Every structure is written in structure tokens, then in C-alpha cells.
Copies of this chain bind each other. A is one copy, B any other.
Amino acid sequence: MMMRLVEKGGEAEPNVFPGDGSRGVPQQRGAGSPKASPLPLNLWRENVPALDSGSCRMSKTECTEVHGPHGDGKAKLDDSLTNIQWLGRLSCQSFIPYEEENGGNAEPVKPSRSSSKDRPPYSYLQIIQLAINGTQTRRMTLQQIYTWVEEHFPYYKYIAKPGWKNSIRHNLSIHDIFVRQRENNGKAMYWTIKPSCQSVSSSSSKQAGQEKDLAISQQPGSKVRKVKPILPRMCSPYPVASPVFVTIPVLYQTPVLSAITSSSSRTRRTIDTPIAPKLPLLMENLNSCPEDKAKESTALAVMEPQKIVAKRWKDRNHQQSYTSRKANRRILELNQPDHITPGSTSSTYTDKNVMEPIYVSSAGLTISPFKTPVKTVLVQGLATSTPCRDESGVVSPGSMWASWRLELSSPKLEDSLLDCSLLKSPTHEPLQEIVQVRRKSDGGDRDLEEFLGFSPLREISSTDMLGFDQQNEGVAKIFSDFSMPNLEEAIDMTNLSWAYIYNRN
């Protein structure tokens, strides 16, 4: 009797991690009914496959629709004795008490938290962008995305429930920055990233669902599974960065759209959101990173969980709650200057031309797909080509996340060029960008640096184009559809440079 596993839409089961010692050991299924407990017992599979094996009685014939790791969609109906895909079946899941995870007695099979089998701190949105941007052609089939993810994040290959592929497809579908394209002559469908959205969305990373088990684990007396280490959401989109050294430009902000948006003074979001002026890319002020370095690895910024940062801040400030508005504002003030009109002489943000590494997206554009205003954030710059301190053994909160630096092959720069001059507003005014640069080690920042353990990096982020309030993605849609130059028109960007941000008024 062959029964089909409808679970997870017939998605493939995760693979067995090589050298895990768990190969062939069936996973436990808890106390419920063996196959179809009406209760979704767990949201995450255990970090350690086959951690507890013993009471799992899943019959092999129950899983006929599993296939291999880099499934080409052809491995079907493998019910031979060598089929061990079902080993990691999600319902065969152990319930490790929360304390046990943090407890001293390290179980032998349990990998360290900084192991690469941990869940990466990137959202699906980011992961897909990383995948697609990691290719030369900047396009990928769905299967290629699957493969890339599995190869770069073993978590999805070995640990995650098969539903992660559903999530990949879901994210491809709902995010408009991902556009389906059909191969010129062939039949294959490729997923691409809209040129106008060429940046990793960066709210690194998921703030949702990541700790849905935490509340449960905090219930007294309840034995709960582990919380997957996913970083909480950070505020700022952070582009897929290649380090570029520029002279820090003046921080200007132009009230370009005050007439268009005509928002009342209460709509803080519209008003405070920096408007993106047209950013001229000139050569004078840029020390481009050596091309080989840029090509060798495009590092992605790694951030610490907000809670860790907040806790440190809290500890340092004597029980000051990290939810304190004042503290938050203090941090944000460092990151996001007030609205500065061109005429105003805000001494805090006057121009200081210092050579500093700045991370920009390869396109030099960061169009946020989100409605929340782009904020500069406390980010540890990791994209420098200098080798980072190796955290051998000790798993500090900082190093835990530092291990998630991605080694990505740098995409061809010319592939990502955006001809910004074609971006026009309906009133035929050229779009503008504002680049925010957070200054370093200035006054109160020192506190922050010390408490953070690193120097907050300057950051460039261009925000909502033309300030369409919360609908900037619509702008991107339109203009990308109409005004975007062909990707085939390769333009050498390696010699482009950032100029001073200018105020066109």
C-alpha cells in the first residue's frame, strides 16, 4: 500500500547531514498518532537530526514522494531500502527543554550554535536576492535557487522542514522585486530581480515567527523545543555591499516632494523619510576597491540581534529598558538626522570629508521594498577585505552572527548598472536621491561604540524615490517597466565613483 505524504505539499524531506551519525536512524514522532496528528506539533525541526531516536515507527511505505538533495524533480517514487529521506520527518521531533539547550551538559551530537547548520540570519527575501545576485546572469530558475540555498545554507538542506521551498516560492511570488522571465527561445522560466530594486533588502532579518516558540518556552513547566537563532529585524535595508572608499559627503536632505506629497505635518513618515535625489556617479571622489577583491567576495553586512544590542545598552545604562523611547531615540538620532533643509546650518551634520569605507549596492541604488522608512542602523561593517578576527571556539553573541558572513561570488558589476537619468517623475523632474551617511566616533557615538564593541559604520542608503509615501515600490515598478535600460547594455561601473551629495536647490 502506497500512501502519499501530503505534508508540506509533497516537498522533499531534508537530507542527512554527512558525518552526523544519524544516517539511517529514524526520527522520533512523539506520542501522537504516527502519521497524521491533527496538531501541528512543531514549527521547526530540531537542530540536531536524530537527536532522539527510539519511538519512531514510521513505515517506509508512508513516504514515497521524497527525493534527493539537489532534486532535479526527477527523483520520484524512491521507496527502496536506501531511501533515508524520511529520517528527518518533521513529526519525529524531539522536545528539548529550553533550559537543556543552554545548560552546561553539552550533548555530544549537538553542534554548536555557531555551526553552519544553524538557521541563517537572512530572510527569504534576502536569501533569494543573494542567490540571484550571486550569478553572472542575475537570473535563476526555481531549482537553481533551491540548490543555491541548500549549498550555501546547510540548514535548509539538512535541518529545515521541507516547507522552506514553499516559502521560497511564496516569497518569489509576493515580492514584486522578483520577476519571472522566460528564456528567449526556450521554455525555462527564470527569476530575476527588477533592476530598480537591486539591493538586498536588509532588514536583516526576519522578525516574525522567529521566536514564536519563545513565548511557549517561557511558559512555566512546559517543555519546549529550541528557538531557532534567527536575527530579529533591523531597521535599515542594507545593500549587497562591495566596499567602496569614498570621501564622506555632506549630509543633505532636500524637501523635493513637499509640494507633491502635500502631506500634513502629522504624517511623520512622509516628512521624515529622506527623499532620494539624483545621485551623480563621478569618478573623482571614489577609491574603488580593487576589482579582484570586489570580485572575490562580496560580503554582506552581519548584524547582531537587536535584542543583544539592546541588552548591552540596557545593562550599560543601569536597568534602562531597551524599550525606552528615550534610549531608542538616542540611538536613532545617531543614525537618522532630523530633517535638514538646505539652508539650515545644522552643525551636527556638516560635511567632514574623511576617507571612509562605505558600502553601497553594486548599482549604487538601494530602493527599499518596504513601507517603513529606511533608517541607518547599528551595523558592524564586515565587508572589508581585511580578514576578520576569527572566533575560534568561543561563541560570543557577536561572533555567533559574524560566522554568517557570506562568501559570495561578486556579481558582474556591469550587470547591475542603473541608468538613473531615465528615472523621471511624472512631472518630468529627475528623480533625486539622498544619501545618508552616519558619522563615526563623534561625541556620543563613543559610548555607543564601546557598548557595541565595534565602530558603527557609515552607511549609505537612498530611500523612497520621490517620496511616494508608502508606495515607493509602485514607482519602481513603473519606471523599471518603462525606463530601465537593457541589462544587456553593459556599462563599466568599476570606475564610477560617488560624488558629493548635492542639493539641487
Mask of A248-286 contacts with B, CB within 8 angstroms, 1/0? 000000000000100110110000000000000000000
**Most interface-central of A173, A187, A478 (chain B CB within 10 A):** A478
Q: Across the two chains, which residue of chain B brings its CB closest to A219? A: B36
404-447 of chain A: CB within 8 A of chain B:
424-427
Return A368 CB to nearest CB of chain B, in Å.
15
- State whether the Cβ of A6 lies closer than 8 Å to any Cβ in chain B: yes
Return A4 CB to nearest CB of chain B, in Å.
11
B477 pairs with A182, CB closer than 8 A: no
- State whether the Cβ of A215 lies closer than 8 Å to any Cβ in chain B: yes
* CA gap between A179 and B479 in the complex, in Å: 21
**Most interface-central of A6, A219, A224, A477 (chain B CB within 10 A):** A477
* CA gap between A184 and B40 in the complex, in Å: 47
Q: Across the two chains, which residue of chain B brings its CB closest to A217? A: B38
Return A395 CB to nearest CB of chain B, in Å.
26
- State whether the Cβ of A459 lies closer than 8 Å to any Cβ in chain B: no
**A426-B187 contact, Cβ under 8 Å, with A222-B33, A475-B478, A477-B475:** no
- State whether the Cβ of A353 lies closer than 8 Å to any Cβ in chain B: no
Interface size counted on chain A using CB atoms at 8 A: 51
- State whether the Cβ of A388 lies closer than 8 Å to any Cβ in chain B: no
**Most interface-central of A41, A213, A219 (chain B CB within 10 A):** A219
Residues of chain B lying within 8 A (CB to CB) of residue A469: 179, 481
324-353 of chain A: CB within 8 A of chain B:
none
- State whether the Cβ of A483 lies closer than 8 Å to any Cβ in chain B: yes
- State whether the Cβ of A200 lies closer than 8 Å to any Cβ in chain B: no
A184 pairs with B264, CB closer than 8 A: yes
Mask of A18-35 contacts with B, CB within 8 angstroms, 1/0? 000000000000000101
Return A215 CB to nearest CB of chain B, in Å.
6
* CA gap between A335 and B40 in the complex, in Å: 40
By DSSP majority rule, is chain A's interface helix, strand, loop, or mixed? loop
Residues of chain B lying within 8 A (CB to CB) of residue A39: 39-41
Mask of A159-203 contacts with B, CB within 8 angstroms, 1/0? 000000000000001001001101011010000000000000000
14-69 of chain A: CB within 8 A of chain B:
33, 35-41
Q: Which of B35, B266, B481 makes the CB contact (< 8 A) with A468?
A: B481
B41 pairs with A483, CB closer than 8 A: no
- State whether the Cβ of A143 lies closer than 8 Å to any Cβ in chain B: no
Q: Across the two chains, which residue of chain B brings its CB closest to A174? A: B174
* CA gap between A481 and B425 in the complex, in Å: 11
Residues of chain B lying within 8 A (CB to CB) of residue A427: 482
Mask of A445-483 contacts with B, CB within 8 angstroms, 1/0? 000000000000000000000001111011111110111
Q: Which of B213, B371, B478 makes the CB contact (< 8 A) with A478?
A: B478
A473 pairs with B474, CB closer than 8 A: yes
* CA gap between A416 and B40 in the complex, in Å: 45
Q: Which of B37, B224, B267, B476 makes the CB contact (< 8 A) with A474?
A: B476
Residues of chain B lying within 8 A (CB to CB) of residue A37: 222
* CA gap between A482 and B468 in the complex, in Å: 9
B6 pairs with A215, CB closer than 8 A: yes
- State whether the Cβ of A142 lies closer than 8 Å to any Cβ in chain B: no
- State whether the Cβ of A493 lies closer than 8 Å to any Cβ in chain B: no
**A468-B477 contact, Cβ under 8 Å, with A222-B38, A427-B482, A482-B427:** yes
Residues of chain B lying within 8 A (CB to CB) of residue A173: 371
Residues of chain B lying within 8 A (CB to CB) of residue A473: 474, 477
B477 pairs with A180, CB closer than 8 A: no
**A36-B476 contact, Cβ under 8 Å, with A182-B267, A481-B468:** no
Q: Across the two chains, which residue of chain B brings its CB closest to A95? A: B38
Q: Across the two chains, which residue of chain B brings its CB closest to A425? A: B482
* CA gap between A468 and B266 in the complex, in Å: 34
Residues of chain B lying within 8 A (CB to CB) of residue A468: 477-478, 481
B182 pairs with A36, CB closer than 8 A: no
- State whether the Cβ of A400 lies closer than 8 Å to any Cβ in chain B: no
Residues of chain B lying within 8 A (CB to CB) of residue A35: 219
* CA gap between A37 and B220 in the complex, in Å: 11
- State whether the Cβ of A235 lies closer than 8 Å to any Cβ in chain B: no
- State whether the Cβ of A216 lies closer than 8 Å to any Cβ in chain B: yes
Return A176 CB to nearest CB of chain B, in Å.
6
Residues of chain B lying within 8 A (CB to CB) of residue A38: 213, 216-217, 219, 222-225
- 27 A-B pairs (CB sep. < 8 Å): A33-B219, A33-B221, A33-B222, A35-B219, A38-B213, A38-B217, A38-B219, A38-B223, A38-B225, A173-B371, A176-B471, A179-B470, A180-B470, A184-B264, A185-B264, A187-B266, A260-B482, A425-B482, A469-B481, A471-B478, A473-B474, A474-B474, A474-B476, A474-B481, A475-B477, A475-B478, A477-B478
Q: A38-B224, A39-B39, A182-B264 are in contact. List 10 more A-B contacts (CB 8 A).
A: A33-B219, A38-B223, A40-B40, A179-B470, A182-B267, A426-B479, A473-B474, A474-B476, A474-B477, A474-B481
